[in-house]
Amino acid sequence: MVFPNFFGGFKNPRNLLREFYGIIEKAGLQRMAFHNLRHSHATHLLN
């Protein structure tokens, strides 16, 4: 399980997105789709 909840079960997808958008906002980045992380990671690996 990649994103477990506090009790080790499945995390609600809405909660995951809410946390993700909060982190993006705190980092001062533009709002992006969660799937964009995959592309960003691949680009950084290639560099």
Terminal Cα distance for the chain, rounded:
29
pLDDT in tens, 22-37: 999 999 988 888 888 8
On whether residue 32 sits in a domain, the answer given is yes
On whether residue 4 sits in a domain, the answer given is no
On whether residue 2 sits in a domain, the answer given is no
Share of the chain above pLDDT 70, in %: 98
pTM assigned to the model: 0.68
Q: In which domain, by residue range, is 31 found? A: 13-46
Confidence tier at 21 by pLDDT (50, 70, 90): very high
Total structural domains within the chain = 1
Residue 34 tokens, joined: 């969660």
On whether residue 1 sits in a domain, the answer given is no
On whether residue 5 sits in a domain, the answer given is no
On whether residue 24 sits in a domain, the answer given is yes
